[in-house]
Structure 1
Amino acid sequence: MTRCSQLALLARYNQWMNDKLYAAAASLPPEAITRDTGAFFGSLLGTLNHIVVGDTLWLQRFAGHPAAFAALQPVLEIPRPASLDGLLFAGLPALQARRQLLDHSIISLGAELQEEHLDFALSYHNTKGVAQRKNFHAVLLHFFNHQTHHRGQATTLLSQLGAEVGVTDLLALIDDIPAS
Protein backbone atom coordinates (compact mmCIF):
# COMPACT_ATOMS: atom_id res chain seq x y z
CA MET A 1 0.00 0.00 0.00
CA THR A 2 1.49 3.35 -1.04
CA ARG A 3 1.53 6.43 1.18
CA CYS A 4 -1.07 8.02 -1.11
CA SER A 5 -3.40 5.03 -0.85
CA GLN A 6 -3.00 5.09 2.95
CA LEU A 7 -3.94 8.78 3.01
CA ALA A 8 -6.93 8.13 0.74
CA LEU A 9 -8.05 5.40 3.17
CA LEU A 10 -7.77 7.86 6.08
CA ALA A 11 -9.83 10.38 4.08
CA ARG A 12 -12.57 7.77 3.55
CA TYR A 13 -12.43 6.83 7.24
CA ASN A 14 -12.74 10.49 8.20
CA GLN A 15 -15.88 10.92 6.09
CA TRP A 16 -17.39 7.62 7.23
CA MET A 17 -16.86 8.43 10.90
CA ASN A 18 -18.14 11.98 10.56
CA ASP A 19 -21.32 10.68 8.92
CA LYS A 20 -21.79 8.31 11.86
CA LEU A 21 -21.13 11.00 14.48
CA TYR A 22 -23.49 13.52 12.94
CA ALA A 23 -26.24 10.89 12.53
CA ALA A 24 -25.88 9.95 16.20
CA ALA A 25 -25.84 13.62 17.25
CA ALA A 26 -28.98 14.30 15.18
CA SER A 27 -30.80 11.63 17.21
CA LEU A 28 -30.41 13.76 20.34
CA PRO A 29 -32.43 16.81 21.38
CA PRO A 30 -30.61 20.13 20.63
CA GLU A 31 -30.15 20.88 24.33
CA ALA A 32 -28.19 17.63 24.76
CA ILE A 33 -25.59 18.48 22.12
CA THR A 34 -25.10 22.00 23.54
CA ARG A 35 -25.01 20.91 27.22
CA ASP A 36 -21.69 21.65 28.92
CA THR A 37 -20.42 18.20 29.84
CA GLY A 38 -17.06 19.34 31.16
CA ALA A 39 -15.35 18.18 27.98
CA PHE A 40 -12.32 20.12 26.74
CA PHE A 41 -14.49 22.08 24.30
CA GLY A 42 -17.47 22.15 26.68
CA SER A 43 -20.11 20.26 24.78
CA LEU A 44 -20.53 17.80 21.97
CA LEU A 45 -21.28 20.75 19.68
CA GLY A 46 -18.12 22.48 20.89
CA THR A 47 -16.06 19.38 20.16
CA LEU A 48 -17.54 18.95 16.67
CA ASN A 49 -16.96 22.66 15.99
CA HIS A 50 -13.30 22.29 17.04
CA ILE A 51 -12.76 19.47 14.55
CA VAL A 52 -14.22 21.67 11.80
CA VAL A 53 -12.00 24.58 12.90
CA GLY A 54 -8.89 22.41 12.89
CA ASP A 55 -9.69 20.87 9.53
CA THR A 56 -10.38 24.29 8.02
CA LEU A 57 -7.09 25.73 9.25
CA TRP A 58 -5.08 22.75 8.04
CA LEU A 59 -6.75 22.54 4.65
CA GLN A 60 -6.16 26.26 4.12
CA ARG A 61 -2.49 25.71 5.00
CA PHE A 62 -2.29 22.76 2.61
CA ALA A 63 -3.43 25.11 -0.15
CA GLY A 64 0.05 26.67 0.09
CA HIS A 65 1.54 23.54 -1.49
CA PRO A 66 2.91 24.29 -5.00
CA ALA A 67 0.71 21.50 -6.44
CA ALA A 68 -2.21 23.97 -6.01
CA PHE A 69 -4.70 21.19 -5.28
CA ALA A 70 -8.04 21.93 -6.95
CA ALA A 71 -9.79 20.11 -4.08
CA LEU A 72 -8.85 22.93 -1.71
CA GLN A 73 -10.35 25.81 -3.69
CA PRO A 74 -13.75 25.68 -1.90
CA VAL A 75 -11.97 25.72 1.48
CA LEU A 76 -10.06 28.87 0.56
CA GLU A 77 -13.41 30.66 0.24
CA ILE A 78 -14.22 29.94 3.91
CA PRO A 79 -13.19 32.65 6.39
CA ARG A 80 -10.21 31.65 8.52
CA PRO A 81 -11.44 30.65 12.00
CA ALA A 82 -10.49 33.18 14.67
CA SER A 83 -9.77 30.66 17.44
CA LEU A 84 -9.44 26.94 18.05
CA ASP A 85 -12.27 26.86 20.57
CA GLY A 86 -14.76 29.25 19.01
CA LEU A 87 -18.20 28.11 17.93
CA LEU A 88 -18.44 28.57 14.17
CA PHE A 89 -22.00 27.26 14.20
CA ALA A 90 -24.51 27.30 17.06
CA GLY A 91 -26.57 24.44 15.60
CA LEU A 92 -25.94 21.01 14.19
CA PRO A 93 -27.47 21.45 10.67
CA ALA A 94 -25.19 24.33 9.65
CA LEU A 95 -22.17 22.64 11.23
CA GLN A 96 -22.98 19.41 9.40
CA ALA A 97 -23.21 21.25 6.07
CA ARG A 98 -19.71 22.68 6.63
CA ARG A 99 -18.47 19.26 7.73
CA GLN A 100 -19.73 17.73 4.49
CA LEU A 101 -18.02 20.43 2.41
CA LEU A 102 -14.74 19.79 4.22
CA ASP A 103 -15.08 16.02 3.92
CA HIS A 104 -15.70 16.31 0.19
CA SER A 105 -12.54 18.43 -0.12
CA ILE A 106 -10.54 15.92 1.93
CA ILE A 107 -11.71 12.99 -0.21
CA SER A 108 -10.90 14.99 -3.37
CA LEU A 109 -7.48 15.93 -2.00
CA GLY A 110 -6.78 12.25 -1.33
CA ALA A 111 -7.59 11.51 -4.98
CA GLU A 112 -5.27 14.29 -6.18
CA LEU A 113 -2.26 13.40 -4.06
CA GLN A 114 0.74 11.88 -5.76
CA GLU A 115 3.80 10.41 -4.08
CA GLU A 116 6.02 13.29 -5.23
CA HIS A 117 3.77 15.78 -3.41
CA LEU A 118 4.39 14.18 -0.04
CA ASP A 119 8.06 15.00 0.53
CA PHE A 120 7.54 18.76 0.14
CA ALA A 121 8.44 21.05 3.08
CA LEU A 122 5.18 22.88 3.84
CA SER A 123 5.62 26.39 5.21
CA TYR A 124 2.81 27.97 7.21
CA HIS A 125 2.11 29.97 10.36
CA ASN A 126 0.54 28.32 13.40
CA THR A 127 -2.40 29.90 15.25
CA LYS A 128 0.04 31.98 17.33
CA GLY A 129 1.62 33.39 14.16
CA VAL A 130 4.86 31.41 14.48
CA ALA A 131 6.38 30.34 11.17
CA GLN A 132 6.61 26.58 10.69
CA ARG A 133 8.22 24.38 8.05
CA LYS A 134 7.31 20.70 8.18
CA ASN A 135 7.22 17.62 5.97
CA PHE A 136 3.87 17.59 4.15
CA HIS A 137 3.32 13.84 4.56
CA ALA A 138 3.97 14.05 8.31
CA VAL A 139 1.59 17.00 8.62
CA LEU A 140 -1.10 15.07 6.73
CA LEU A 141 -0.68 12.24 9.24
CA HIS A 142 -1.06 14.76 12.07
CA PHE A 143 -4.18 16.15 10.38
CA PHE A 144 -5.86 12.74 10.33
CA ASN A 145 -4.65 11.86 13.83
CA HIS A 146 -6.09 15.13 15.21
CA GLN A 147 -9.49 14.27 13.74
CA THR A 148 -9.38 10.76 15.18
CA HIS A 149 -8.37 12.03 18.62
CA HIS A 150 -11.27 14.48 18.87
CA ARG A 151 -13.78 12.11 17.25
CA GLY A 152 -12.91 9.71 20.07
CA GLN A 153 -13.90 12.42 22.53
CA ALA A 154 -17.10 13.09 20.58
CA THR A 155 -17.91 9.36 20.55
CA THR A 156 -17.53 9.25 24.33
CA LEU A 157 -19.80 12.28 24.72
CA LEU A 158 -22.40 10.72 22.43
CA SER A 159 -22.33 7.53 24.45
CA GLN A 160 -22.72 9.48 27.70
CA LEU A 161 -25.68 11.34 26.18
CA GLY A 162 -27.34 8.05 25.20
CA ALA A 163 -26.63 7.96 21.45
CA GLU A 164 -25.20 4.89 19.72
CA VAL A 165 -22.38 5.38 17.18
CA GLY A 166 -21.68 1.76 16.33
CA VAL A 167 -18.42 0.42 14.94
CA THR A 168 -15.68 3.04 14.85
CA ASP A 169 -12.62 1.02 13.86
CA LEU A 170 -10.63 1.87 10.75
CA LEU A 171 -10.41 -1.89 10.27
CA ALA A 172 -14.05 -1.85 9.10
CA LEU A 173 -12.90 -0.02 5.92
CA ILE A 174 -9.88 -2.18 5.15
CA ASP A 175 -10.68 -4.76 2.48
CA ASP A 176 -10.16 -8.43 3.18
CA ILE A 177 -7.48 -10.08 1.12
CA PRO A 178 -8.73 -13.35 -0.39
CA ALA A 179 -6.76 -16.45 0.51
CA SER A 180 -4.57 -17.64 -2.31
Structure 2
Amino acid sequence: MREAEVLTRYKAWADDLFLAALSSLPDTELTAPRSIVFGSLLRTLNHSYQMDCVWKCHLLGKPHGLTTRNPDDCPELEELIVRQRSIDEWYVNYANTIAENELKEIVEFEFIGGETGRMNRRDILLHVVNHTTYHRGQAAGILYQINVTPPATDFPVFLRETKAGTW
Protein backbone atom coordinates (compact mmCIF):
# COMPACT_ATOMS: atom_id res chain seq x y z
CA MET A 1 0.00 0.00 0.00
CA ARG A 2 1.29 3.47 -0.87
CA GLU A 3 1.86 6.29 1.60
CA ALA A 4 -1.20 8.27 0.48
CA GLU A 5 -3.43 5.21 0.83
CA VAL A 6 -2.19 4.41 4.34
CA LEU A 7 -2.48 8.00 5.53
CA THR A 8 -6.00 8.55 4.22
CA ARG A 9 -7.11 5.27 5.76
CA TYR A 10 -5.51 6.32 9.02
CA LYS A 11 -7.41 9.62 8.93
CA ALA A 12 -10.73 7.88 8.28
CA TRP A 13 -10.09 5.39 11.09
CA ALA A 14 -9.06 8.08 13.59
CA ASP A 15 -11.93 10.42 12.68
CA ASP A 16 -14.46 7.62 13.03
CA LEU A 17 -13.07 6.43 16.36
CA PHE A 18 -12.91 9.94 17.79
CA LEU A 19 -16.34 11.07 16.61
CA ALA A 20 -17.96 7.84 17.79
CA ALA A 21 -16.51 8.44 21.25
CA LEU A 22 -18.24 11.81 21.37
CA SER A 23 -21.66 10.26 20.77
CA SER A 24 -22.14 9.64 24.48
CA LEU A 25 -21.56 13.29 25.40
CA PRO A 26 -24.54 15.55 26.01
CA ASP A 27 -25.08 18.33 23.46
CA THR A 28 -24.37 20.86 26.18
CA GLU A 29 -20.74 19.65 26.38
CA LEU A 30 -20.37 19.55 22.59
CA THR A 31 -21.58 23.13 22.15
CA ALA A 32 -20.40 24.71 25.42
CA PRO A 33 -18.28 27.81 24.84
CA ARG A 34 -14.57 26.97 25.16
CA SER A 35 -11.48 29.12 25.06
CA ILE A 36 -10.45 27.70 21.70
CA VAL A 37 -10.29 29.45 18.35
CA PHE A 38 -13.48 27.86 16.97
CA GLY A 39 -15.47 28.36 20.18
CA SER A 40 -16.62 24.83 21.04
CA LEU A 41 -15.77 21.17 20.71
CA LEU A 42 -18.32 20.65 17.93
CA ARG A 43 -17.29 23.76 15.99
CA THR A 44 -13.64 22.68 16.15
CA LEU A 45 -14.50 19.34 14.56
CA ASN A 46 -16.77 21.05 12.04
CA HIS A 47 -13.83 23.27 11.05
CA SER A 48 -11.80 20.14 10.31
CA TYR A 49 -14.60 18.77 8.17
CA GLN A 50 -15.10 22.06 6.32
CA MET A 51 -11.38 22.30 5.54
CA ASP A 52 -11.46 18.71 4.24
CA CYS A 53 -14.13 19.97 1.81
CA VAL A 54 -12.00 22.96 0.81
CA TRP A 55 -8.97 20.78 0.03
CA LYS A 56 -11.15 18.33 -1.90
CA CYS A 57 -12.30 21.25 -4.05
CA HIS A 58 -8.68 22.32 -4.56
CA LEU A 59 -7.79 18.80 -5.71
CA LEU A 60 -10.73 18.82 -8.12
CA GLY A 61 -10.08 22.36 -9.34
CA LYS A 62 -13.50 23.54 -8.20
CA PRO A 63 -14.51 26.55 -6.09
CA HIS A 64 -15.33 25.73 -2.47
CA GLY A 65 -17.55 28.73 -1.75
CA LEU A 66 -16.32 29.32 1.80
CA THR A 67 -15.34 32.79 2.96
CA THR A 68 -14.37 31.85 6.51
CA ARG A 69 -12.59 29.00 8.28
CA ASN A 70 -15.35 29.00 10.92
CA PRO A 71 -18.67 28.93 9.02
CA ASP A 72 -21.89 29.77 10.84
CA ASP A 73 -23.44 26.50 9.65
CA CYS A 74 -22.51 23.83 12.20
CA PRO A 75 -24.46 20.59 12.14
CA GLU A 76 -25.33 18.50 15.14
CA LEU A 77 -22.89 15.71 15.94
CA GLU A 78 -24.89 12.96 14.24
CA GLU A 79 -24.94 14.87 10.95
CA LEU A 80 -21.26 15.82 11.27
CA ILE A 81 -20.39 12.14 11.71
CA VAL A 82 -22.25 11.28 8.49
CA ARG A 83 -20.56 14.11 6.59
CA GLN A 84 -17.10 13.30 7.94
CA ARG A 85 -17.41 9.62 7.08
CA SER A 86 -18.47 10.55 3.56
CA ILE A 87 -15.56 12.88 2.90
CA ASP A 88 -13.10 10.48 4.52
CA GLU A 89 -14.37 7.80 2.15
CA TRP A 90 -13.81 10.21 -0.75
CA TYR A 91 -10.18 10.78 0.33
CA VAL A 92 -9.55 7.04 0.72
CA ASN A 93 -10.95 6.39 -2.76
CA TYR A 94 -8.97 9.30 -4.20
CA ALA A 95 -5.73 7.96 -2.72
CA ASN A 96 -6.53 4.45 -3.93
CA THR A 97 -7.08 5.55 -7.52
CA ILE A 98 -4.62 8.38 -8.15
CA ALA A 99 -1.55 7.43 -10.16
CA GLU A 100 1.88 7.90 -8.61
CA ASN A 101 2.88 10.50 -11.20
CA GLU A 102 -0.33 12.47 -10.51
CA LEU A 103 0.65 12.80 -6.85
CA LYS A 104 3.55 14.98 -8.03
CA GLU A 105 1.31 17.36 -9.98
CA ILE A 106 1.18 20.93 -8.71
CA VAL A 107 -2.23 22.31 -7.75
CA GLU A 108 -2.69 26.06 -7.67
CA PHE A 109 -5.39 27.35 -5.34
CA GLU A 110 -6.63 30.31 -3.37
CA PHE A 111 -6.66 30.27 0.41
CA ILE A 112 -9.87 31.38 2.11
CA GLY A 113 -8.09 34.60 3.08
CA GLY A 114 -7.46 35.37 -0.59
CA GLU A 115 -3.76 34.57 -0.95
CA THR A 116 -2.64 32.10 -3.59
CA GLY A 117 -0.88 28.82 -2.95
CA ARG A 118 0.75 25.93 -4.79
CA MET A 119 1.24 22.41 -3.53
CA ASN A 120 1.59 19.00 -5.11
CA ARG A 121 -1.23 16.52 -4.61
CA ARG A 122 0.83 14.34 -2.26
CA ASP A 123 1.51 17.30 0.04
CA ILE A 124 -2.15 18.29 -0.01
CA LEU A 125 -3.12 14.81 1.17
CA LEU A 126 -0.44 14.93 3.85
CA HIS A 127 -1.73 18.34 4.97
CA VAL A 128 -5.34 17.10 5.14
CA VAL A 129 -4.28 14.21 7.39
CA ASN A 130 -2.02 16.39 9.54
CA HIS A 131 -4.56 19.22 9.86
CA THR A 132 -7.24 16.91 11.20
CA THR A 133 -4.78 15.30 13.60
CA TYR A 134 -3.96 18.75 14.97
CA HIS A 135 -7.60 19.60 15.63
CA ARG A 136 -8.40 16.16 17.06
CA GLY A 137 -5.62 16.96 19.52
CA GLN A 138 -7.32 20.23 20.44
CA ALA A 139 -10.61 18.39 20.87
CA ALA A 140 -8.91 15.74 23.01
CA GLY A 141 -7.61 18.53 25.25
CA ILE A 142 -11.19 19.69 25.78
CA LEU A 143 -12.25 16.15 26.63
CA TYR A 144 -9.56 15.90 29.30
CA GLN A 145 -10.83 19.19 30.78
CA ILE A 146 -14.28 17.64 31.23
CA ASN A 147 -12.84 14.39 32.65
CA VAL A 148 -13.43 12.29 29.54
CA THR A 149 -10.57 10.17 28.24
CA PRO A 150 -10.41 10.36 24.44
CA PRO A 151 -9.69 7.25 22.40
CA ALA A 152 -6.11 6.60 21.33
CA THR A 153 -5.91 7.68 17.69
CA ASP A 154 -2.14 7.59 17.30
CA PHE A 155 -0.74 6.38 13.98
CA PRO A 156 1.11 3.39 15.54
CA VAL A 157 -2.17 2.29 17.16
CA PHE A 158 -3.84 2.42 13.75
CA LEU A 159 -1.05 0.33 12.23
CA ARG A 160 -1.26 -2.23 15.02
CA GLU A 161 -5.05 -2.48 15.07
CA THR A 162 -5.61 -2.52 11.32
CA LYS A 163 -2.44 -4.32 10.26
CA ALA A 164 -2.12 -1.69 7.50
CA GLY A 165 1.43 -2.85 6.89
CA THR A 166 4.34 -0.89 5.67
CA TRP A 167 4.54 1.36 2.65
Q: What range is the shorter-chain TM-score in?
A: 0.7 to 0.9
Q: Is residue 7 of structure 1 aligned with residue 11 of structure 2?
A: no
Q: 5+ unaligned residues in a row in structure 1: which ranges? A: 65-75
Q: What does 1:69-148 correspond to in 2, within 5 Å?
A: 80-148=65-133
Matching residue within 20, 23, 27 for 2:20: 23
State the alpha-carbon separation in 2 of the partners of residues 142 and 26 from structure 1: 27
Note the alpha carbon deviations across 1:118-174, whole angstroms, 9 max, x for none: 111111111122232222222222221111111111122123223333222101222
State the alpha-carbon separation in 2 of the partners of residues 176 and 109 from structure 1: 17
Matching residue within 45, 59, 62 for 2:56: 59
Contact 2:18 2:151 in 1 (8 A): no
Contact 2:111 2:117 in 1 (8 A): yes
State the alpha-carbon separation in 2 of the partners of residues 79 and 127 from structure 1: 9
CA pair 98-81 structure 1, distance change in 2 beyond 3 A: farther
Contact 2:43 2:74 in 1 (8 A): no
State the alpha-carbon separation in 2 of the partners of residues 32 and 38 from structure 1: 13
State the alpha-carbon separation in 2 of the partners of residues 133 and 166 from structure 1: 35
- The AA in structure 2 aligned to 1:150 is H
Contact 1:20 1:165 in 2 (8 A): no
Matching residue within 21, 28, 32 for 1:35: 32
CA-CA distance at 1:79 after TM superposition:
6.3
State the alpha-carbon separation in 1 of the partners of residues 31 and 164 from structure 2: 40
State the alpha-carbon separation in 2 of the partners of residues 173 and 17 from structure 1: 8
CA pair 166-63 structure 1, distance change in 2 beyond 3 A: same
CA-CA distance at 1:60 after TM superposition:
0.7
Deviates more, 1:136-145 or 1:148-157: 136-145
Contact 1:37 1:43 in 2 (8 A): yes
Matching residue of 1:67? none
CA-CA distance at 1:31 after TM superposition:
0.5
Number of residue pairs the alignment of both structures matches: 162
Q: 5+ unaligned residues in a row in structure 2: which ranges? A: none
Contact 1:49 1:89 in 2 (8 A): yes
TM-score (norm 2): 0.87
State the alpha-carbon separation in 1 of the partners of residues 84 and 76 from structure 2: 12
